[in-house]
Protein backbone atom coordinates (compact mmCIF):
# COMPACT_ATOMS: atom_id res chain seq x y z
CA UNK A 1 0.00 0.00 0.00
CA UNK A 2 1.54 3.32 -0.98
CA UNK A 3 2.13 5.53 1.95
CA UNK A 4 1.78 9.25 1.64
CA UNK A 5 0.74 12.44 3.29
CA UNK A 6 -2.87 11.83 2.29
CA UNK A 7 -3.00 8.51 4.11
CA UNK A 8 -1.53 10.01 7.23
CA UNK A 9 -3.98 12.89 7.17
CA UNK A 10 -6.90 10.52 6.87
CA UNK A 11 -5.47 8.35 9.61
CA UNK A 12 -5.15 11.34 11.90
CA UNK A 13 -8.67 12.48 11.14
CA UNK A 14 -10.07 9.07 11.92
CA UNK A 15 -8.03 8.85 15.10
CA UNK A 16 -9.29 12.26 16.23
CA UNK A 17 -12.87 11.26 15.57
CA UNK A 18 -12.48 8.08 17.58
CA UNK A 19 -10.69 9.85 20.37
CA UNK A 20 -13.48 12.40 20.61
CA UNK A 21 -16.04 9.60 20.64
CA UNK A 22 -14.31 7.64 23.44
CA UNK A 23 -16.68 7.98 26.40
CA UNK A 24 -14.53 6.28 28.99
CA UNK A 25 -10.87 5.97 29.93
CA UNK A 26 -11.08 2.31 28.98
CA UNK A 27 -12.41 3.12 25.49
CA UNK A 28 -9.72 5.77 25.09
CA UNK A 29 -6.96 3.29 25.96
CA UNK A 30 -8.29 1.00 23.29
CA UNK A 31 -8.34 3.76 20.68
CA UNK A 32 -4.81 4.73 21.55
CA UNK A 33 -3.61 1.14 21.18
CA UNK A 34 -5.27 0.92 17.78
CA UNK A 35 -3.37 3.92 16.44
CA UNK A 36 -0.22 4.24 18.47
CA UNK A 37 0.41 0.75 19.83
CA UNK A 38 3.16 -1.51 18.52
CA UNK A 39 0.72 -3.12 16.12
CA UNK A 40 -1.22 0.06 15.56
CA UNK A 41 -1.86 1.97 12.34
CA UNK A 42 0.94 4.51 12.74
CA UNK A 43 3.46 1.76 13.46
CA UNK A 44 2.21 0.07 10.30
CA UNK A 45 2.90 3.22 8.31
CA UNK A 46 6.38 3.52 9.77
CA UNK A 47 7.07 -0.10 8.93
CA UNK A 48 5.99 0.31 5.36
CA UNK A 49 8.19 3.32 4.59
CA UNK A 50 11.13 0.95 4.13
CA UNK A 51 9.79 0.44 0.63
CA UNK A 52 10.13 4.13 -0.25
CA UNK A 53 13.03 5.87 -1.92
CA UNK A 54 15.54 7.65 0.34
CA UNK A 55 14.26 11.24 0.27
CA UNK A 56 10.62 10.26 0.24
CA UNK A 57 11.27 7.89 3.13
CA UNK A 58 12.72 10.67 5.25
CA UNK A 59 9.82 13.01 4.44
CA UNK A 60 7.09 10.48 5.16
CA UNK A 61 8.96 9.28 8.26
CA UNK A 62 8.96 12.82 9.60
CA UNK A 63 5.29 13.30 8.78
CA UNK A 64 4.41 9.99 10.45
CA UNK A 65 6.28 10.92 13.62
CA UNK A 66 4.62 14.32 13.75
CA UNK A 67 1.22 12.66 13.26
CA UNK A 68 2.00 10.21 16.03
CA UNK A 69 2.85 13.08 18.32
CA UNK A 70 -0.33 14.99 17.56
CA UNK A 71 -2.48 11.90 18.10
CA UNK A 72 -0.69 11.36 21.40
CA UNK A 73 -1.51 14.94 22.38
CA UNK A 74 -5.14 14.50 21.40
CA UNK A 75 -5.31 11.34 23.53
CA UNK A 76 -3.75 13.24 26.45
CA UNK A 77 -6.27 16.05 26.20
CA UNK A 78 -9.18 13.64 25.99
CA UNK A 79 -7.86 11.71 28.96
CA UNK A 80 -7.70 14.91 30.99
CA UNK A 81 -11.27 15.78 30.03
CA UNK A 82 -12.55 12.29 30.87
CA UNK A 83 -10.77 12.30 34.22
CA UNK A 84 -12.25 15.67 35.06
CA UNK A 85 -15.76 14.59 34.20
CA UNK A 86 -15.31 11.38 36.19
CA UNK A 87 -14.37 13.48 39.21
CA UNK A 88 -17.25 15.88 38.64
CA UNK A 89 -19.63 12.97 38.47
CA UNK A 90 -18.23 11.51 41.71
CA UNK A 91 -18.53 14.88 43.42
CA UNK A 92 -22.04 15.29 42.14
CA UNK A 93 -23.02 11.89 43.45
CA UNK A 94 -21.59 12.70 46.88
CA UNK A 95 -23.02 16.18 47.14
CA UNK A 96 -25.05 16.78 50.28
CA UNK A 97 -28.09 18.90 49.87
CA UNK A 98 -28.14 20.86 53.06
CA UNK A 99 -31.56 22.26 52.26
CA UNK A 100 -33.22 18.86 52.59
CA UNK A 101 -35.13 18.32 55.84
CA UNK A 102 -33.32 16.08 58.35
CA UNK A 103 -34.35 12.48 58.81
CA UNK A 104 -35.33 13.21 62.38
CA UNK A 105 -35.99 16.37 64.31
CA UNK A 106 -33.15 16.95 66.79
CA UNK A 107 -34.54 16.55 70.30
CA UNK A 108 -35.13 19.89 71.95
CA UNK A 109 -33.27 20.38 75.22
CA UNK A 110 -34.84 21.63 78.40
CA UNK A 111 -33.71 22.88 81.75
CA UNK A 112 -32.19 20.48 84.25
CA UNK A 113 -34.42 19.72 87.26
CA UNK A 114 -31.89 21.37 89.57
CA UNK A 115 -31.82 24.48 87.41
CA UNK A 116 -35.60 24.67 87.53
CA UNK A 117 -35.67 24.38 91.28
CA UNK A 118 -32.89 26.98 91.59
CA UNK A 119 -34.74 29.41 89.36
CA UNK A 120 -37.88 28.93 91.33
CA UNK A 121 -36.04 29.58 94.60
CA UNK A 122 -34.28 32.64 93.25
CA UNK A 123 -37.57 34.02 91.95
CA UNK A 124 -39.15 33.68 95.35
CA UNK A 125 -36.34 35.41 97.24
CA UNK A 126 -35.82 38.21 94.78
CA UNK A 127 -39.55 38.95 95.10
CA UNK A 128 -38.87 39.37 98.85
CA UNK A 129 -36.06 41.84 98.26
CA UNK A 130 -33.10 39.47 98.60
CA UNK A 131 -30.13 39.98 96.27
CA UNK A 132 -28.08 37.18 94.80
CA UNK A 133 -24.51 36.81 95.92
CA UNK A 134 -21.96 34.29 94.72
CA UNK A 135 -18.77 33.01 96.26
CA UNK A 136 -15.89 30.87 95.01
CA UNK A 137 -16.12 27.09 94.97
CA UNK A 138 -12.41 26.83 95.68
CA UNK A 139 -12.30 28.62 98.99
CA UNK A 140 -9.89 29.54 101.76
CA UNK A 141 -10.22 27.71 105.06
CA UNK A 142 -10.79 31.10 106.63
CA UNK A 143 -13.99 31.83 104.67
CA UNK A 144 -15.24 28.26 104.69
CA UNK A 145 -14.54 27.49 108.35
CA UNK A 146 -12.63 29.82 110.64
CA UNK A 147 -14.70 32.96 110.16
CA UNK A 148 -17.81 30.81 110.69
CA UNK A 149 -16.57 29.74 114.13
CA UNK A 150 -15.58 26.30 112.91
CA UNK A 151 -12.27 25.71 114.65
CA UNK A 152 -9.57 23.43 113.34
CA UNK A 153 -10.76 20.54 115.53
CA UNK A 154 -14.39 20.63 114.38
CA UNK A 155 -15.60 17.42 112.71
CA UNK A 156 -16.62 19.38 109.59
CA UNK A 157 -12.93 19.90 108.93
CA UNK A 158 -12.21 16.25 109.09
CA UNK A 159 -10.60 15.14 105.88
CA UNK A 160 -13.30 12.60 105.16
CA UNK A 161 -15.77 15.42 104.56
CA UNK A 162 -13.61 18.08 103.01
CA UNK A 163 -11.76 18.01 99.72
CA UNK A 164 -8.47 19.80 100.12
CA UNK A 165 -6.85 21.30 97.04
CA UNK A 166 -3.35 22.52 96.34
CA UNK A 167 -2.28 25.75 97.94
CA UNK A 168 -4.05 25.07 101.25
CA UNK A 169 -7.54 25.81 99.93
CA UNK A 170 -10.63 23.62 100.06
CA UNK A 171 -13.62 22.91 97.85
CA UNK A 172 -16.32 24.66 99.82
CA UNK A 173 -18.37 22.22 101.83
CA UNK A 174 -21.31 24.61 102.10
CA UNK A 175 -22.54 27.93 100.76
CA UNK A 176 -22.13 29.53 104.19
CA UNK A 177 -18.76 30.89 102.98
CA UNK A 178 -20.80 33.48 101.11
CA UNK A 179 -22.08 34.88 104.42
CA UNK A 180 -18.53 35.94 105.25
CA UNK A 181 -17.74 37.24 101.78
CA UNK A 182 -20.96 39.22 101.47
CA UNK A 183 -21.07 40.66 105.00
CA UNK A 184 -17.45 41.75 105.24
CA UNK A 185 -17.24 45.46 104.46
CA UNK A 186 -21.01 45.95 104.20
CA UNK A 187 -23.21 47.91 106.54
CA UNK A 188 -26.64 46.44 107.44
CA UNK A 189 -29.45 46.29 106.65
CA UNK A 190 -29.03 43.75 103.86
CA UNK A 191 -30.45 40.44 102.75
CA UNK A 192 -28.86 37.95 100.40
CA UNK A 193 -29.26 34.51 98.96
CA UNK A 194 -26.35 32.45 97.66
CA UNK A 195 -27.22 29.49 95.43
CA UNK A 196 -24.37 27.26 94.33
CA UNK A 197 -22.41 24.04 94.19
CA UNK A 198 -20.75 22.51 97.21
CA UNK A 199 -18.53 19.47 97.65
CA UNK A 200 -18.18 16.73 100.23
CA UNK A 201 -16.44 13.42 100.34
CA UNK A 202 -19.63 11.39 100.44
CA UNK A 203 -21.57 8.95 98.28
CA UNK A 204 -24.89 7.20 98.90
CA UNK A 205 -28.39 7.17 97.37
CA UNK A 206 -29.02 10.54 99.01
CA UNK A 207 -25.49 11.97 98.87
CA UNK A 208 -23.25 12.88 95.98
CA UNK A 209 -19.74 14.38 96.18
CA UNK A 210 -21.05 17.51 94.46
CA UNK A 211 -24.43 18.89 95.32
CA UNK A 212 -26.29 22.19 95.49
CA UNK A 213 -27.25 24.40 98.36
CA UNK A 214 -28.95 27.69 98.77
CA UNK A 215 -27.93 29.96 101.60
CA UNK A 216 -29.98 32.89 102.80
CA UNK A 217 -29.22 35.55 105.37
CA UNK A 218 -30.60 38.83 106.53
CA UNK A 219 -29.09 41.35 108.93
CA UNK A 220 -30.88 44.33 110.42
CA UNK A 221 -31.82 45.86 113.76
CA UNK A 222 -34.52 43.90 115.58
CA UNK A 223 -34.44 40.64 113.71
CA UNK A 224 -35.97 37.63 115.46
CA UNK A 225 -36.28 33.89 115.07
CA UNK A 226 -39.94 34.54 114.28
CA UNK A 227 -38.90 36.47 111.16
CA UNK A 228 -36.80 33.51 110.10
CA UNK A 229 -39.70 31.09 110.54
CA UNK A 230 -42.04 33.34 108.61
CA UNK A 231 -39.65 33.49 105.67
CA UNK A 232 -39.09 29.73 105.70
CA UNK A 233 -42.81 28.91 105.81
CA UNK A 234 -43.47 31.24 102.91
CA UNK A 235 -40.54 29.72 101.03
CA UNK A 236 -41.75 26.14 101.57
CA UNK A 237 -45.28 27.03 100.47
CA UNK A 238 -43.95 28.62 97.31
CA UNK A 239 -41.70 25.67 96.48
CA UNK A 240 -44.27 22.97 96.95
CA UNK A 241 -47.16 25.07 95.72
CA UNK A 242 -49.29 24.08 98.73
CA UNK A 243 -49.60 24.46 102.46
CA UNK A 244 -46.71 22.75 104.22
CA UNK A 245 -45.83 21.72 107.71
CA UNK A 246 -42.36 22.51 109.08
CA UNK A 247 -40.64 21.12 112.14
CA UNK A 248 -37.75 22.86 113.88
CA UNK A 249 -35.39 20.74 115.97
CA UNK A 250 -32.83 22.29 118.27
CA UNK A 251 -29.36 21.69 116.91
CA UNK A 252 -25.88 23.07 117.00
CA UNK A 253 -24.16 24.95 114.22
CA UNK A 254 -21.04 26.90 115.20
CA UNK A 255 -22.08 29.94 113.17
CA UNK A 256 -25.63 30.34 114.52
CA UNK A 257 -26.99 30.72 118.02
CA UNK A 258 -29.58 29.44 118.60
CA UNK A 259 -29.55 26.90 115.79
CA UNK A 260 -32.17 24.55 114.45
CA UNK A 261 -32.53 21.86 111.89
CA UNK A 262 -35.68 21.99 109.90
CA UNK A 263 -37.74 19.23 108.35
CA UNK A 264 -40.87 19.36 106.32
CA UNK A 265 -43.67 16.88 106.45
CA UNK A 266 -43.23 14.37 103.64
CA UNK A 267 -45.45 15.39 100.77
CA UNK A 268 -45.49 11.98 99.20
CA UNK A 269 -47.09 10.14 102.11
CA UNK A 270 -48.56 12.98 104.18
CA UNK A 271 -46.52 11.87 107.18
CA UNK A 272 -47.69 8.28 106.95
CA UNK A 273 -44.12 7.11 106.27
CA UNK A 274 -42.73 6.02 102.90
CA UNK A 275 -39.46 5.15 101.16
CA UNK A 276 -38.62 8.77 100.40
CA UNK A 277 -38.81 9.91 104.03
CA UNK A 278 -37.31 6.65 105.38
CA UNK A 279 -40.66 5.95 107.04
CA UNK A 280 -40.27 8.90 109.39
CA UNK A 281 -42.89 11.14 107.81
CA UNK A 282 -40.37 14.00 107.78
CA UNK A 283 -37.71 15.08 105.31
CA UNK A 284 -34.63 17.01 106.36
CA UNK A 285 -34.55 20.33 104.65
CA UNK A 286 -31.61 22.22 106.08
CA UNK A 287 -30.21 24.20 108.96
CA UNK A 288 -30.95 27.66 110.24
CA UNK A 289 -30.54 29.97 113.16
CA UNK A 290 -29.66 33.43 114.36
CA UNK A 291 -26.23 34.46 113.09
CA UNK A 292 -23.69 34.07 115.88
CA UNK A 293 -22.54 37.48 117.19
CA UNK A 294 -18.94 36.40 116.75
CA UNK A 295 -19.56 35.79 113.05
CA UNK A 296 -20.99 39.28 112.69
CA UNK A 297 -17.96 40.68 114.50
CA UNK A 298 -15.63 38.65 112.25
CA UNK A 299 -17.18 40.55 109.35
CA UNK A 300 -16.81 43.92 111.06
CA UNK A 301 -20.49 44.27 112.01
CA UNK A 302 -21.50 45.64 115.39
CA UNK A 303 -23.26 42.73 117.07
CA UNK A 304 -24.73 44.90 119.81
CA UNK A 305 -26.70 46.84 117.30
CA UNK A 306 -27.46 44.26 114.63
CA UNK A 307 -28.85 40.76 114.53
CA UNK A 308 -29.36 38.44 111.62
CA UNK A 309 -30.81 35.12 110.67
CA UNK A 310 -29.38 32.57 108.28
CA UNK A 311 -30.44 29.34 106.71
CA UNK A 312 -28.99 26.85 104.30
CA UNK A 313 -30.57 23.93 102.56
CA UNK A 314 -29.95 21.29 99.97
CA UNK A 315 -31.49 21.94 96.60
CA UNK A 316 -31.14 18.53 94.99
CA UNK A 317 -33.41 16.87 97.50
CA UNK A 318 -36.15 19.29 96.61
CA UNK A 319 -35.69 18.32 92.96
CA UNK A 320 -35.83 14.61 93.87
CA UNK A 321 -39.01 15.14 95.79
CA UNK A 322 -40.69 17.37 93.27
CA UNK A 323 -39.97 15.08 90.31
CA UNK A 324 -40.18 11.75 92.16
CA UNK A 325 -36.56 10.78 91.38
CA UNK A 326 -35.37 7.95 93.65
CA UNK A 327 -31.57 8.42 93.56
CA UNK A 328 -29.50 11.61 93.56
CA UNK A 329 -27.00 10.15 91.07
CA UNK A 330 -29.70 10.15 88.43
CA UNK A 331 -29.60 13.94 88.55
CA UNK A 332 -25.94 14.16 87.61
CA UNK A 333 -25.22 11.28 85.28
CA UNK A 334 -26.74 13.01 82.27
CA UNK A 335 -28.81 10.00 81.24
CA UNK A 336 -31.27 11.27 78.64
CA UNK A 337 -33.77 8.56 79.56
CA UNK A 338 -34.05 10.26 82.93
CA UNK A 339 -33.69 13.87 81.88
CA UNK A 340 -36.18 13.44 79.06
CA UNK A 341 -38.97 12.62 81.50
CA UNK A 342 -38.89 15.86 83.36
Binding site for ligand DAH (CB under 6 A): 174, 176, 215, 253, 256, 259, 286-289, 310-312
> Mapping DSSP to helix (H, G, I), strand (E, B) and coil, where does residue 191 land?
strand
How far, in Å, CA of 68 to CA of 82, rounded? 21
> Please, which residue, 188 or 286, has the CB nearer to ligand DAH?
286
> Please, which residue, 235 or 311, has the CB nearer to ligand DAH?
311
How far, in Å, CA of 57 to CA of 82, rounded? 37
Q: How far is the CB of 253 from ligand DAH (least distance, A)?
A: 4
> Please, which residue, 120 or 161, has the CB nearer to ligand DAH?
161
Q: How far is the CB of 233 from ligand DAH (least distance, A)?
A: 16
Strand partners, 138: 171
> Please, which residue, 135 or 286, has the CB nearer to ligand DAH?
286
Neighbouring CB atoms inside 10 A of 268's CB total 13
Strand order in the sheet with 164-165: 138-139, 169-171, 164-165
> Please, which residue, 36 or 283, has the CB nearer to ligand DAH?
283
Q: How far is the CB of 176 from ligand DAH (least distance, A)?
A: 4
CA-based end-to-end distance of the chain: 93
Q: How far is the CB of 210 from ligand DAH (least distance, A)?
A: 14
Q: Where are the alpha helices (DSSP H) in the chain?
A: 5-21, 25-36, 41-48, 54-94, 113-127, 141-144, 177-183, 225-240, 293-298, 316-323, 329-332, 336-339
Q: How far is the CB of 241 from ligand DAH (least distance, A)?
A: 24
Amino acid sequence: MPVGADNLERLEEEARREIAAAESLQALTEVRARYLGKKGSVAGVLRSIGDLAGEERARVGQLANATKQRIEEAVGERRGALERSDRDRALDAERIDTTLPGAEEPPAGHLHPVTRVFRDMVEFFTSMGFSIEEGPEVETEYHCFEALNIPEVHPARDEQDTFYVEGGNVLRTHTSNVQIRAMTGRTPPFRFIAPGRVYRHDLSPRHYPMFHQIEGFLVDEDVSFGDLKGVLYAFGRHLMAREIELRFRANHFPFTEPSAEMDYACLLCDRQGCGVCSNSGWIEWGGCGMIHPQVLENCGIDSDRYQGFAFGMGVDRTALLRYGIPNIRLLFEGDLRVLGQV
